[in-house]
Structure 1
Amino acid sequence: MKILGIDPGSHRLGYAVLQKEKSHIKVLTYGTIEVPPGTKSPVNLIAIRRQLDAILDEYHPDLASVEELFFAKNRTTAAKVYESRGVVLLTLGEHNVPVVEPTASQIKKGTTGSGTADKKGIKSALKLLLGLADLTGHDDSWDAIASAYVGIAMSGSFGKR
């Protein structure tokens, strides 16, 4: 089983592809989809879609885990992130990839055991859980790895061989 994890953003989205074989999970790839700051909609959305299409065409995931969003304060930022999240969901639908949508709290709890863990705690937990020597790049990509990891459990295949 291959699962694509996505940490949505308006100009930088984290992504990761994990593969689960029996009880072993390995990271196939991770990184960020980046659009230059200040790129206006819909140009940023088209760039996100094209880069996501390329990832989907290369890895053919069986499932995607896209973090559910919650914004309490900045509505302008929220609207832009929801636009890109919509493009992500549309693109996944066009590729016939089923989606699970864990909350940030579920992702934190599923990787660290605490729903209030910080980025450093998530990074440390992922290194232990997945046997990684190090994680490089933006923390958005680490969040995508965590989303994919929790998505495996949400899919019901975590304990299956």
Structure 2
Amino acid sequence: MLRIIGIDPGSRMTGYGLIDTDGVHSVYLSHGVIKLSGEPLPPRLGEIFATISGLIQEHQPDVMAIEQVFVAKNPSSALKLGQARGAAICAAVYRGLSVAEYTPTRIKQAVVGTGRADKAQIQHMVQMILGLRQKPQADAADALAVALSHAHTHTTLMRQSGRGK
């Protein structure tokens, strides 16, 4: 089994989701949202790093999958998002994990079947794929979708290399 922690970075809320996959089935483990205070950015980045580092230590994932920064209309928002990603990636590297990065379009394509899916469609498909009783909060659903996208990509690569079923 491959254990994946998926991250949906944000400077106000960062979603995370953990799954196990055997290449055919993915099993839900945990999800949540790191809600960050209105403090200046540096303490929020520290909180992202510390919380994700703690999650990695607790759950022992094999890899981190994280959403790539998209081009935002507001350059300041894009920079803050990039810094939040950096804090999460640093936590993974600090804990010895490799990091896989996926575009929002690729994640939506892997989970919903279309790169133009909206948040509600992602939440619904994550709920269905993982058999959750309730729809996860949007940021956590996005993080689980990132993890599912990596599970799909990993399985495809294993099959292409002849190591998969």
TM-score by structure 2 length?
Answer: 0.89
Cα displacement (A) at 1:20: 1.2
Q: Is the 8 A contact 2:14 2:35 kept in 1?
A: yes
Cα displacement (A) at 1:78: 0.9
Task: Read off the aligned partner of 2:80 and give its amino acid letter.
Answer: K
Q: Which runs of 4+ in 1 moved over 3 A?
A: 156-161
Q: Is the 8 A contact 1:100 1:155 kept in 2?
A: no
Cα displacement (A) at 1:64: 0.9
Which residue is equivalent to 2:65? 65
Cα displacement (A) at 1:22: 5.5
Cα displacement (A) at 1:155: 2.4
The answer to whether residue 28 in structure 2 is matched with residue 27 in structure 1 is yes
Specify whether residues 50 and 154 from structure 1 end up closer, same or farther in structure 2 by C-alpha distance, changes over 3 A only.
same
What is the identity percentage for the equivalent residue pairs of Structure 1 and Structure 2? 30
Partners of 1:153 and 1:82 in 2: CA distance: 25
Cα displacement (A) at 1:115: 0.4
Determine helix, strand or coil for the equivalent of 1:32: strand
Question: Which residues in structure 2 correspond to 1:1-161 (within 5 Å)?
Answer: 1-21=2-22, 23-36=24-37, 38-136=38-136, 138-156=137-155, 160=164
Task: Read off the aligned partner of 1:25 and give its amino acid letter.
Answer: S
Partners of 1:54 and 1:112 in 2: CA distance: 30
Partners of 2:144 and 2:126 in 1: CA distance: 8
Partners of 1:84 and 1:59 in 2: CA distance: 21
Q: Is the 8 A contact 1:2 1:63 kept in 2?
A: yes
- The superposition leaves residues 31-52 of structure 1 with CA deviations (integer Å, 9 ceiling, x where unpaired) of 111211x211211111111111
Partners of 1:99 and 1:35 in 2: CA distance: 23
RMSD: 1.6
TM-score by structure 1 length?
Answer: 0.92
